[in-house]
Structure 1
Amino acid sequence: MNAGSRTDWFLIRHAPVQGQEARYYGQLDVAAEPVNPVIAAGLSRLLPPVAVWMSSPLSRTRSTALALKPGADPIAIQDFTEQNFGLWQGRGHNEVYAANKGFDWNNPAKIRPPEGESFADLTARIANAMERLTAHYAGHSIVAVTHAGVIRSAIGFALGLDPGTALRIDIAPLSLTRLTCRIVNGEPVWSLGCVNYEVVV
């Protein structure tokens, strides 16, 4: 990145999903509910007119991106897929807890589901992606429609939070988080503009 360059990230969580209440759905490709046009218009007004658009490969993020910008063809970023809950995907939270009481649920960021990844694993994946993509698109505005875990991890990366702290950040569907990276004395300096901003109708 060039000295003095500024890269702005506009991170949006996808619309609510259908029929997955209190379940680990993670990387399952479940559909999102239709986006209220008033909310879509309100969010769109907060986004830069010229930007690089990205999403995860899952349909719920891509359909949300299209609702915000009809005709958009967001770049599918594999690293921006939600946390992989492995064999827990599709199962209810209470069911998983009852079957795994031996885990240290006081430190959930370190729990790795069978054949999946922990939240700490996710934060490492997102940190690498944010560094790589910020360098590649230095000086641009980036709109990324993605998942709650990804956005928590990106905030944690930008602010230097440990995974356990980042996991406690609540990210609502169709909310906006803005991060900015500036180069100061040759080093990237991150700031948080807003988190969990919602358009109310």
Structure 2
Amino acid sequence: MAGMRTEWIWIVHAPVQGRESRYYGQLDVAAEPVDPALASAIARRLPSVAVWLSSPLTRTRSTALALKPGVDPVAVGDFIDQQYGRWQGMSYNDVFAANRTLEWSQPADIRPPEGESFADMAVRVVAGIDRLSAHYAGHTLISVAHVGAVRAAIAHALEIDLATALRIELAPLSLTRLSHRATDGGAQWSVGCINFDLSA
């Protein structure tokens, strides 16, 4: 509805156990346990009343449960991590070494074999954001998600190109706040913070 403000709080899931510097993508790998003190510090910054969302993968759901025990986040398929196809599970170094001829200067458009590009992923993430912003208009949404999904959300809000969005650093368990207001002419977005890192 026009004029209604919808708050989006994006939280990057906890680090993946032993799988950093790899294209784990849609592999359902576990996240590291969240330190209780850090979980409490993050939870104190979150509103008590909100709609909790996550991707369908375990690492986002377990992070949500660490921050708000007992929560049952709505699984949003559009927010699942990028599909890296044959690259999934491989290290960044090994993929680069085997694919030196790719246009690495245009990373948003690189599509792994049997996978999707960051640009492909951004299309579905934005579709999910627009759909849920309309469905939950006037509410606060807390979405525990993957780095790629949060970057896509930031690019959508700021109307920046995806190559620029890929240069945004986002730490595990960091917070990004975006506000959506529906208008007669479309939508207006504002940014409260990006990559607010309580673990630093």
Q: Same fold (TM over 0.5)?
A: yes
Q: Indicate if the aligned counterparts of 1:3 and 1:186 stay in contact, CA closer than 8 A.
A: no
Q: Which amino acid aligns with 1:77?
A: V
Instruction: For 2:130 and 2:160, locate their aligned partners in 1 and report how far apart those are by CA, in whole Å.
Output: 16
Aligned-pair distance for 1:118?
0.5
Instruction: For 2:120 and 2:77, locate their aligned partners in 1 and report how far apart those are by CA, in whole Å.
Output: 15
Instruction: For 2:52 and 2:164, locate their aligned partners in 1 and report how far apart those are by CA, in whole Å.
Output: 28
**SS of residue in 1 equivalent to 2:128:** helix
Task: Report the RMSD for the aligned CA atoms in angstroms.
Answer: 1.1
Aligned-pair distance for 1:188?
1.1
2:5 equivalent in structure 1: 6
Structural mapping, 1:121-136, within 5 Å: 121-136=120-135
| TM-score (norm. length: structure 2) | 0.97
Aligned-pair distance for 1:161?
1.0
2:17 equivalent in structure 1: 18
Q: Show structure 2 runs of 5+ residues with no match.
A: none
Q: Which amino acid aligns with 1:100?
A: N
Instruction: For 1:185 and 1:116, locate their aligned partners in 2 and report how far apart those are by CA, in whole Å.
Output: 37
2:103 equivalent in structure 1: 104
| TM-score (norm. length: structure 1) | 0.96
Q: Indicate if the aligned counterparts of 1:6 and 1:138 stay in contact, CA closer than 8 A.
A: yes
Structural mapping, 1:13-162, within 5 Å: 13-162=12-161
User: Is 1:189 aligned to 2:191, yes or no?
Assistant: no
- Name whichever of 119-128 and 5-14 sits farther off: 119-128
Q: Show structure 1 runs of 5+ residues with no match.
A: none
Aligned-pair distance for 1:186?
4.4
Aligned-pair distance for 1:162?
1.0
User: Is 1:165 aligned to 2:164, yes or no?
Assistant: yes
**SS of residue in 1 equivalent to 2:71:** coil
**SS of residue in 1 equivalent to 2:178:** strand
Q: Deviations over 1:138-175 (max 9, x none)?
A: 00000000100000000001111111111111111000
Number of equivalenced pairs: 200
Instruction: For 2:119 and 2:153, locate their aligned partners in 1 and report how far apart those are by CA, in whole Å.
Output: 12
Q: Identity of counterpart residues, as a percentage?
A: 59
**SS of residue in 2 equivalent to 1:10:** strand
